[in-house]
Structures are given as C-alpha cells and as structure tokens.
Amino acid sequence: MLLRYSPTSPYVRKVTVAAEEIGLADHLTWQHTNPWVPESDIGTHNPLGKIPALVLDSGETLYESDLICEYLDSLHAGEKLFPPEGERRWRALKLHALADGMLDSAVHRIVENNKRPAELYWADWDAYQQRKIDRGLDALEADPDRLEERLTIGQIAVACALGFLDFRFPSVAWRETRPHLAAWYDAFAKRPSMQKTVPQQPS
Ligand SMILES: N[C@@H](CCC(=O)N[C@@H](CS)C(=O)NCC(=O)O)C(=O)O
C-alpha cells in the first residue's frame, strides 16, 4: 500500500500513528507529496487534492484520514481502534470528530496566516477559527476520563491535534489553563508511535 504523505500533515500523522499502533506500518510505502503546488498530481489519486491518500495494491485509492484509518483497522485481528459497536464506538468517533474539527480550524488558520497574501489577511476569521480550537480544548479538559479509556482512534486524533498546535502555534499556550489535558498529552506523547512521528520543520 502506498501512502501519499507529507511529514508535517497532522492527518497523515494520525494515519501513521494508527498504523504503528496496530502493527501495520511496515506494510506502507511512502510517496512524499506537496498537495499545494499547482503541478501536483495528487488529483489523480484524490479528486479533492488532499493528503493523505492511500493507494491499495489493487490500484483502488482511499482518501480522507478517517476512512484510511478505519480501513487499516479492518486489516488486523487485534483490539480495534474503531470499537465495532456500542457506547465505546460512539465515544471514540465523537472524540475523533472533535479532534479533526480542531485540526480543520488549525489548517484554516495556517492558510490565513501563511498562504493568503498578507494584504488579504482576515483577522476575524482567524480569531473565529481559534475560538473553535479553544472550545475544543476546553471540552477535552472538562472530560479527562474520556481520554483514559482503552486506546481508540479518538485518542490518537486528539494527540495528533495537540501535537499540531505545539508544532504550528507554539504561542497558543493551551496547557496553561488545561492541566488535565496537558498531563494526559505529555504521557501519551511518549508512546513509540508518537515519538516516531514527531513533525519536523522542512529543511
Ligand atoms: N479531511 C481531510 C483533511 C486532509 C487535509 O486537509 N490535508 C491537507 C494537508 S495537512 C491538504 O492536503 N491540503 C490541501 C488542500 O486542502 O487542497 C482528511 O482527514 O484527510
């Protein structure tokens, strides 16, 4: 299976951490892809023009990180990252949805701050996105028990979202008012899957 990836994408990191956790990372081959350049051919594998995209050995392509993670999870017989049924499933998917939404807002902020021409910067939109991130962080801080459950895709997604905030927005001091979340993340970030996938600034 070929993963079209970038080492700084938090959505790719989520897929990679999931693959590490379920023991499938060695089944992936990698193609570095910058989806933002007009000449990128990512559209041949994902009409939406985004990474991650997973090209299966059959030639079929899967895109959207949640779908890719669930597909990988279907390939192993161990404890599932996507609980198959019951309350645990909905809790995990809700956590995943919250973390992905926070990531989407963080990516909007990056577009606003780094990609849009400076004279078109829209401060209200930027602040609007940060408020979504802040509310997400507050929701996670208010419900630390959710994060203590057995490993699911929800926790992986939350950890990748927090890691992305640290990577791209170090001035957002989210730990200051969220000690439970900070303690949980600091412990989770020690997992080998997280250590192996720490994003690096491109040289
Ligand atoms: N919902 C998508 C988001 C993926 C995404 O936005 N990836 C970014 C890189 S971090 C991208 O490819 N952006 C290019 C674009 O939006 O055209 C997922 O979960 O896979």
pLDDT digits (tens, 9 = 90+) for 109-154: 999 999 999 999 999 999 999 999 999 999 999 998 788 889 999 9
Backbone angles phi, psi at 83, to 5 degrees: -55, 135
Residues of the chain under the 70 pLDDT cut: 203
The reported pLDDT for the residue numbered 203 is 64
Task: Please report, for residues 34, 66, 199, the alpha-carbon distance to residue 42 in angstroms, rounded to integers and kept in the order given.
Answer: 8, 18, 21
Q: Which fold has domain 86-195?
A: Glutathione S-transferase Yfyf (Class Pi); Chain A, domain 2 (1.20.1050)
The reported pLDDT for the residue numbered 63 is 98
The reported pLDDT for the residue numbered 146 is 82
Q: How far does the centroid of ligand 1 lie from the alpha carbon of residue 53, in Å? A: 10
Under 8 Å between Cβ of 32 and 6:
yes
The CATH-assigned architecture of domain 2-73 is 3-Layer(aba) Sandwich (3.40)
Ligand 1 touching residue 163 (CB < 6 A): no
Q: What ligand 1 atom has the least distance to the C-alpha of 64? A: 20
Ligand 1 touching residue 11 (CB < 6 A): yes
The reported pLDDT for the residue numbered 144 is 80
Q: How far does the centroid of ligand 1 lie from the alpha carbon of residue 50, in Å? A: 4
What are the residue ranges spanned by the domains of the chain? Answer: 2-73, 86-195
Q: How far does the centroid of ligand 1 lie from the alpha carbon of residue 132, in Å? A: 18
Helix (H) or strand (E) holding 86, with range, is helix 86-110
* Burial of 156 from C-beta contacts in 10 A (0-12 / 13-18 / 19+): buried
Q: How far does the centroid of ligand 1 lie from the alpha carbon of residue 79, in Å? A: 28
